[in-house]
Structure 1
Amino acid sequence: MAEQVSKRLKTSGSSGLTIGTHNGHFHADEALAVYMLRQLPAYRDAGLVRTRDPALLETCHTVVDVGGEYDAAKNRYDHHQRTFATTFPGRPTKLSSAGLVYLHFGRQLVAQQLQNKHADDSEEVTLLWNKLYESFIEALDAHDNGISAYDPAGIAAAGLEKRFSTGAFTLGAMVGRLNPNWNDPVPSDPAEAQVAEDARFVEASERIGTEFSRDLEFYTKAWLPAREIVRAAYNKRLEYDPEGRVMVLEGQSVPWKDHLYTLEDAEGNVDKKVLYVLYAEKPVPDAKWRIQCVPETKDSFQSRKPLPEPWRGARDEALDAITEIPGGVFVHAAGFIGGNKTFDGAKAMAIKALTM
């Protein structure tokens, strides 16, 4: 009887649609799947049923992460079937319920964020649809399906060990820690217990959803507009170095790494890659300038060519004396970034560093 009571509880909505998912211990994938659906006009006021009762799930308009069925025509998005092997286009990771919902509704979410400036199948929407999957959704799919970022056997064979703990703070862990602890008090009344559990799920859904929305906003409002700025800077790089190893972002700094790597890959010139990127600290005439080394990969701490070792850790007049270039501000001790009071000074530092 208690199980039946908990199964029948639901959060009602005014749209007439109901989203179904499982009750009990919740995970990041269905938490985000529910959130993404509720960002769409059709689901904005949708009710929520958390149950494993097939009869109740049958009454739901859309079901995620439970039910043993993947059929987009019927709005069923479970991935636990033995035969399930669906992946996102061009990616190897098996989808979770988050990936399934994003696969079918992600383009609409992106186009909606762009305020209908682009059709769902436009180049811009497709670019962002893929980018958001790789930068955010795929990690959840892998986590829920027990897929490691690195091959464990390969790591073991190489004898690699972690240098420190990362605190296990992943997207999945962020949601998981909102589940009750094993020794938390639970209301004796089944209905009250389910209400408390559902409240925790809604909190988890909003929390991971907020992070997704921040990513979506960044890529639509900041990352995408930066693409043409980086392209223009890349096309002018030979003005500063005949081999194109110095790129200057005019006006102000923008997110440049992804776009630079894409442009270089498209050109296919592996011998003349950009080594240093120059940009003003602020978009004002008297701003100081930075010289940043291009990492070997986007998330790498290894630079293609770090700033010269004798410069590292030096500041102000001491840096001027070492570089013989006036206006020095600093060079980081790790050699991946430095600064000068003027553009000409930063450019001189970059040109000299190329020869050292």
Structure 2
Amino acid sequence: MAAETASKRMKTDPLIIGTHNGHFHADEALAVYMLRLLPDYASASLVRTRDPSLLDTCHTVVDVGGEYDAGKNRYDHHQRTFNTAFPEHQTKLSSAGLVYMHFGKAIIAQHTKLPVDHSDVELLHRKLYDDFVEAVDANDNGISKYDDSKLEQAGIEKRFKDGGITLASLVNDLNHDDPMGTPSRSTADQPQAEEDFRFSLASSLMGNAFLRKLHGAATAWLPARSIVKEAFNTRTSAHPSGQLLVLPRAGIPWKEHLYGIEEEAGLSPEQKVLFVIYPEKEEADSKWRIQAVSKNMSSFENRKSLPEPWRGVRDAELDALLGDDVQDGAVFVHAAGFIGGHKTEAGVRAMASLALAA
């Protein structure tokens, strides 16, 4: 009877997650939050300690213990032999990356209500790692985005200090007393309770940021892919060159999808899309925009900019420059030549044709 009672208790007692105490970081704060998004861990308690005997009682341990063994739910990355990276990536994982690599698809499937083996879950799994988790891994492992020695050789210096506004720095701030008077969950003789409370704030900070990224990717980025794909497949009907993309509505995040779709299609540089047009708003009488496609996601240099004589010109003066082939209603072209507008779809299509021929 005692053995049966113990067995039932083991099955029903909440799981225990273990991580280290002391100074905390963004990676384990995110790792703990991600685990608790899953039903099995939703009511899990947290033990923050470096005591091996206490860690042995935990179901899952992250960022401490010197062991990476998914079969035993051990996810530390500090051992000398550890060199694991996310598939097709080179950045060494932190505890956040380890938890995400093993549990991320289940988290995404739960959030999107899709089967865990659905192709969209795979797309989102990679998207969230690229856009969010990898930077957490790199930060914790001391990996810079750029090779500092090469930047120094090139004579490139930062114009200002931006480290204080990263999520990792905000988590670090929570390790210290809050001058704004964050409510304490302890008294002076309970320093561990106070530290654990501050860790909970850090975990929520990281987790909420992760969830916002996941929600945006699932509800905006992913649906946009099919829209951009359809526009890409029918682009020759928009312009014989195939270098004009027409989006049917406003607010579609198209850039990343376009680059990926072009790469999948194996387009040569001469075949790639140069301009994208789309309505400014959802209303039927919306104005339309024309935007030049930049050379890559982070570049301010365009594959082809709008014609130089149009740049910085507006309204009737721009109408005169566009000529009789474009109906009146031009709104503007930015001085940098990357974007312009017209009051009508027909007008912006005509602007695109002129820009492509220039």
TM-score by length of 1: 0.90
Q: Specify the SS of the correspondent of 1:131.
A: helix
Q: How does 1:240-319 map to 2 (within 5 A)?
A: 240-270=238-268, 271-319=270-318
Partner of 2:205: 207
Cα deviation, residue 223, structure 1: 1.3
Q: Specify the SS of the correspondent of 1:201.
A: helix
More divergent stretch after superposition (316-325 vs 196-205): 316-325
Q: Specify the SS of the correspondent of 1:19.
A: strand
Partner of 1:32: 30
Partner of 2:351: 349
Cα deviation, residue 184, structure 1: 11
Percentage identity across paired residues of the two chains: 57
Is the counterpart of residue 174 in structure 1 residue 170 in structure 2? yes
Task: Please say if residues 84 and 93 of structure 2, whose CA atoms lie closer than 8 Å, have aligned partners that are also in contact.
Answer: yes
* Aligned partner letter, 1:332: H
Is the counterpart of residue 49 in structure 1 residue 51 in structure 2? no
Cα deviation, residue 15, structure 1: 5.4
Q: How does 1:1-356 map to 2 (within 5 A)?
A: 16-115=14-113, 117=114, 119-180=115-176, 191-270=189-268, 271-324=270-323, 325=326, 326-356=328-358
Task: Please say if residues 28 and 62 of structure 2, whose CA atoms lie closer than 8 Å, have aligned partners that are also in contact.
Answer: yes
Partner of 2:7: none
For 1:187 and 1:291, the matched residues in 2 are separated by: 55
Task: Please say if residues 15 and 42 of structure 1, whose CA atoms lie closer than 8 Å, have aligned partners that are also in contact.
Answer: no
For 1:184 and 1:287, the matched residues in 2 are separated by: 46
Question: For 1:63-109, what per-residue CA distance to the aligned partner results, in whole angstroms no more than 9, with x for missing partners?
Answer: 11011111111111000000001110000010000000001000101
Evaluate the alpha carbon distance shift between residue 184 and residue 226 of structure 1 in structure 2; reply closer, same or farther with a 3 A threshold: closer
Q: Give the number of aligned pairs.
A: 341
Give structure 2 stretches of 5+ with no counterpart. 1-11
Q: Specify the SS of the correspondent of 2:190.
A: helix
Cα deviation, residue 309, structure 1: 2.6
RMSD after superposition: 2.2
For 1:202 and 1:323, the matched residues in 2 are separated by: 59
Task: Please say if residues 276 and 294 of structure 1, whose CA atoms lie closer than 8 Å, have aligned partners that are also in contact.
Answer: yes
Task: Please say if residues 38 and 44 of structure 1, whose CA atoms lie closer than 8 Å, have aligned partners that are also in contact.
Answer: yes
Question: For 1:21-40, what per-residue CA distance to the aligned partner results, in whole angstroms no more than 9, with x for missing partners?
Answer: 11111111001000100100
Give structure 1 stretches of 5+ with no counterpart. 1-13
Evaluate the alpha carbon distance shift between residue 191 and residue 100 of structure 1 in structure 2; reply closer, same or farther with a 3 A threshold: farther
* Aligned partner letter, 2:297: K
For 1:54 and 1:183, the matched residues in 2 are separated by: 35
Task: Please say if residues 65 and 76 of structure 2, whose CA atoms lie closer than 8 Å, have aligned partners that are also in contact.
Answer: yes
More divergent stretch after superposition (235-244 vs 63-72): 235-244
For 1:182 and 1:128, the matched residues in 2 are separated by: 36
Q: Specify the SS of the correspondent of 1:292.
A: strand
Q: Specify the SS of the correspondent of 2:271.
A: coil
> Stretches of 4+ moved more than 4 A in 1?
181-191
Cα deviation, residue 173, structure 1: 1.8
Task: Please say if residues 15 and 44 of structure 1, whose CA atoms lie closer than 8 Å, have aligned partners that are also in contact.
Answer: no
TM-score by length of 2: 0.89
